[in-house]
Structures are given as C-alpha cells and as structure tokens.
Chain A
Amino acid sequence: MRTILFLLQKEFRQIFRNPSILRVILIMPVVQLLIIPLAADYEIKNINLSVVDHDHSSYSQKLTAKILSSGYFRLNDFSPSFNKSFSEFQKDNSDLILEIPSGFEKDLVRENKAGLFIAVNAINGMKAVAGSAYLSGIISDFNAEILMEWTPPVHPASVAGIQVVPSLWFNPGQTYRFFMVPGVLVILVTMVGAYLCALNIVKEKETGTIEQINVTPVKKHHFILGKLIPFWVIGVFSFSLGLFVIARFVYGIVPAGSLLLLYLFLSVYLVAVLGFGLLVSTYSATQQQAMSLSFFSMTVFILMSGLFTPVESMPVWAQWIARCNPVTYFMEVIRMIVLKGSTFPDIRHHFLIVILFGTVFNVWAILHYRKTV
C-alpha cells in the first residue's frame, strides 16, 4: 500500500511537470467540445438553388419566394434556360435546379394541375436527399395553400385529411448539439484514458526506467495500479470539466438523469479504456508504435461507436463490430442518462458488458506484460 502511494506521488509529479500532458488534459476537452458539436451539424442548410423560371407569373414568383424564405436554400442563380443552370451545376456551384415550365400558372388555374421539374446534384448524397425532400415539402405546402385559396372555406374539416403532428421526446427542439455534446465527452474520455496511459508506460520502456523498477521488489500489480490510478483521475477530471463547465455553460445541457449513475458508469468505463491502453503498451516497444497502434484502433472505435451514425442503421455485420466496441456502450449510456434520464435498470446490460470489457482488457494486458518483460 505504501509502495502504491510512492508510485502515485512520483507519477503525479511527472504529470504536473509535463506541459504537453497538462495541455491535453485542460485544453483538449474545451477545444473538442467547442468545435465539434457546432461544426459537425447534421441539419443541412445553405443548399444552393438554381431557378429556371419560364413562366414569370405571380404563382411562380410566390413559389420561389416561399422556397427562399424557408432558410434552407440560397439562391445561386436565376437563369433563363435550363442549360445555363446546368453549367452552374457542373461547376458544383449549385445543388438543385428547379425548373418552372411556361404556362405553370395557366395550367394550375385551368386544369387544376401543373408540373415542375427538379434536378438534384447527387455528388453530396446527404445534401441531395435532404435538399430534394425539403423542396418537395415546400412545394406540397404551397399546393395546399393554393387549394385553401380556391376552395371556399365552408367546411374547414374537409380541407385537411389526416394530419400528423409528431411529438418529439427527450430533445424537443431536435437540437443537434444536445445529441452531440455527450457523444464528444465520451470520445474525450476514451482518448485521454487510452492514449495517455499507453504512452506513459511505453515511455518508461523507452527510457529503461521500467527495468530499474523491475529489479526492485515492487510487484507487477503495484506498478500497474500506480499507472492506472493517475490516468483514471485525469479521465474523471477531464469529463467533469467538459460536463460541468462547457456542456452546462456553453450549451446549457443539464443531465436529466442521476449524476451518481453517470459517474458510476464513467468509473467502470475508464477501467476498461485504461486496460486497453495498458494492452497497447504491452504490444509496443516505442512511443511511436504505441501511438500508431492506438490511433488506428481509436479511429475504428470512434467511427463505429454511433457518434455520428446510429448503430441501428449500420449493416448487420457492422453492428456486430459496433457491439464489440466499448465506446458504443458509453455512447448509448451517456445519451440515455443525460437526455432521457434513464435509471440503473435501463442500463444494467451496458454495465455488465463494460465490466466484461474491463476484465478482458486488463487480464489480457497483465498476462501479456508478464510474458514480455
């Protein structure tokens, strides 16, 4: 016990003397949380629209004005011919072309029916899908308005058929940030834990100090605990900094669920992540090797965790990979607790699985460490 205290004292001394580690602990949470949730926004805005109006009627103008006032579209050009707009398309200046045929108003009034042409630039798939969906929505809205104008308001009920009003739970404003910030917190904790822990142990290998420690009576588990505890503390600190300072004051996120439960899960999760860092360190001889190894695995872990794309919409084989990824579980749990206010029974499976991960990583690392050193 006394030995662990001395090891911890030494470890913290070294950490506080290392300016680059301090920067990682203090600045990384702030920068990550300020940049990523604001920049990586899934709501598609600023779709560039080309309008080709052959009709020049009041209806065609009304329609254009309605589209542009929605806030999703930006008028790129107003051109007399489709070909001219298409060249904008080819230059990638424009994402959508709306062509209003001549006689649009006439057909609409006379025959109660008119056609419109939409061309979509599908290079950016997400923008294409969202853009054409928004545009169709606005056009059908426009259609309904015109119908309202023409139909005498005798029976209001006859106008609307079935009206669907969605009620959004847990994130009523569908604010993307509320979904993203907890996710970024998870990434942060994962990176701090795995990277710092792996690099620190490998550094001892590089300088040869690990051998100097090995010829002392210090037990392997003392040494490993002396490494895990400091980085566990740092992980909890970084997480708290992100949660209580940035998430609360910048984004106004207050966890709906129990903080105690959240921190309990964080504690278990950090043990798993640190175990992973330990494992990486046992397979690397230099800091460079440890860096590449953890960078490669972290990228897979993060992209497969459901941070950006929901795990459920991945192909089945990819879902299996995501299920073998500890990050996925914390990603789900933090969103459940922070947004939904989930309680222990809701996340007890996640607890069990992360404890399993922690056990596997740490036992594997310790066994391999014994064999190599």
Chain B
Amino acid sequence: MSEVVFDRIVKTYQRNSIRALDDVSFSADRGSLFGLIGPDGAGKTSIFRILATLTLPDRGQARVSGWDVVKDYSKIRQVVGYMPGRFSLYPDLSVGENLSFFAALFNTTVQANYDLIKDIYRQIEPFKKRRAGALSGGMKQKLALCCALIHRPSILFLDEPTTGVDAVSRKEFWQTLGNLRKQGITILVSTPYMDEAARCENIALIQNGKILSINTPQKIAGEFPETLFAVRSNNMSGLLRDLRGMSGIGSCYTFGEFHHITFRQGIENPQKWLVGELESKHHHEIEFMQVQPTIEDCFIRLMKKDE
C-alpha cells in the first residue's frame, strides 16, 4: 500500500525558465523510510513542498495518504508533519512555547503526545525556557522535529534534517528516525550525504530534477556493473591527473583517501599494468585494491551517464 505517490510531476519556477522537477515519479510504502538522495539544487525541496501542500505542481499528480495534494490539501495538513530544511520556528518564543503553540494549532496538547517525542524532547528539555533562536544547530533540529511530531502525524516529511549537524547528532537523529518508523510512521527524508542513504529502506537518487534510480540501497549498490578499484600514492593530485590521462582507465574520481577507478575492457592483469605505468611516472608508495561499490559510486556513475 503506497502512502506517498508522486506521479509524473513537473514543476517549473520563474515563468518556466527553471525546471526544478522534470517528470518525477516515485512512491513510498506505508511505514517505510524513504530517502531522497541528491546534491543541492537537485529538486528535493520542491518535492517536499508539493507533498506538504505548500506549492502546486505544474503537471502530474501527487497523493499523500490517498488524498490529492491539490484538492484535498486540508485533509493532508491534518496528517503530515513537515520539517523544512531551514529552521522555521519562532526564534523569539521559548522552546516550550514553540512546542505548545504548534500542539495548540493541531488542537492537541504536549502532554497528550509526550510519549512520541519523549526520546528527543528529553535532550532539549533542560533548555525549555531558552528562546528557540538561541539554541545550537543540533538542538534547533531536535526542536523542529518535536514540533513536526507533536500532533502525532502518520507521515513525516524531513527536508535535509541533518545538514549542518555534527556527526554524533546525525547518528542520534537517524536512530530516532528508526524508532519512529517502528511506531508506524511513514518517513520521507532527504539528504545530500550518501553515507546516510544506507539507513533508508528505499532510496531515490535525484539529480537536476530527474530521478536517476529508485531501489533499496543494497540493490542500487549491487547494480554497479563494473569492478571497482581504489588506488593511492604519495602524490594524490598528480596521480589523479596521470590516471585520467591513461587510455586504459574508464573512470576516475577522488573518494576519501583514495581515487576510485574502473578499467576499460581488454586489459589483462590490470594491477600489474597499472602499477608498472605509475612507477614509470615516478609514483611511490602505491596502494591498490578492489573495493565494494557504495551508493556514492553509483551516484557518480549515474550522474556521468546522465550528462
């Protein structure tokens, strides 16, 4: 049963000159954790704004919980929680005031739904009297999530909730999302960080308003059609230049402390060939190994293919 359906949506801005979403379709099952993965400007926020009934699609149809985002927007607003990418709570109201204000707008109280937000709220409760504008980045995100959850929504839209948050808070945040999922809440989350994608059940890779691929993270990674290797040497920038100059190398890009490469067809014993080539170009301390493709590798490959 699909809880969120996005069907051939087109969205343009500035009198059709900017195409933010170009024929985008996907669907997310009830109770699933669905990730929208893509760089800045890919169109993730536009998808959320359409689903949250804040903007209208130019073409196509979107449904949330069976309701149409255009006709039944008021029904949708009762059941979704939306956390925008930018902090959008009242900076001049305190943590507690923000929370009870949003609870009141949904005709409920903080006490009635305390069990749902308990895990997160406990962490910011010591600062209950502090103005929301004076909180740190991570605490702002936690407060925003509490405010999005306070009316017990059945669907949660989280637009880049971990952008600008430290590594520890990010990890905690994803654990929280896992707990919420166990309570039956459908979660749609976007992130520019590929490493977070593996925590989702299904992911959609998005680039320039188009969906490159939709699948489980494992399948997307498993679909990588070539064998992937990692190389490094004492001179990494020179190595990248040299690798790109070699005709036997299919693709080459920086990946953490290594460069990831694939070979063109028809090279026998690529390791011996490459090491020989590199040593002739005065590279030392050469390390070479085969690696498992990650989602980021898939993303880079799909992006290049798209171009």
B-binding residues in A (CB < 8 A): 2-3, 6, 10, 13-14, 17-18, 207-209, 211-218, 373
Contact = CB atoms under 8 A, between A and B. Distances in A.
Given A13-B93, A14-B93, A217-B74, A211 B88 contact: yes
Given A208-B87, A212-B147, A215-B52, 5 more contacts: A18-B92, A211-B88, A216-B102, A217-B78, A217-B105
A215 B82 contact: yes
B89 A212 contact: yes
B77 interface: yes
Contacts of B78: 217
Contact of A10 (B74, B84, B90, B106): B90
A8 to B, nearest CB: 11
B300 interface: no
A6 B105 contact: yes
Contacts of B82: 212, 215
Contacts of B80: 215
B267 interface: no
26 contacts: A3-B107, A10-B90, A10-B93, A10-B101, A13-B97, A14-B92, A14-B93, A18-B92, A207-B90, A207-B91, A208-B84, A208-B87, A209-B88, A209-B89, A211-B54, A211-B88, A212-B88, A212-B89, A213-B105, A214-B54, A215-B53, A216-B77, A216-B102, A216-B105, A216-B151, A217-B106
- Residues of B in contact with A, size category: 20 to 34
5 tightest A-B CB contacts, nearest first: A208-B88, A6-B104, A216-B105, A215-B82, A212-B88
A217 B84 contact: no
Interface of B, secondary structure class, is loop
A216 B106 contact: yes
Contacts of A3: 104-105, 107
B155 to A, nearest CB: 11
Contacts of A217: 74, 77-78, 105-107
Contacts of B107: 2-3, 217
Contacts of A214: 53-54
A152 to B, nearest CB: 85
Contacts of A211: 54, 84, 88
Nearest to B85: A208
B86 interface: yes
B291 to A, nearest CB: 41
- Which of B52, B86, B88, B97 has most chain A Cβ within 10 Å? B88
A18 B133 CA distance: 14
Given A10-B93, A217-B74, A207 B102 contact: no
Given A2-B107, A212-B84, A215-B54, A14 B90 contact: yes
Contacts of B90: 10, 14, 207, 209
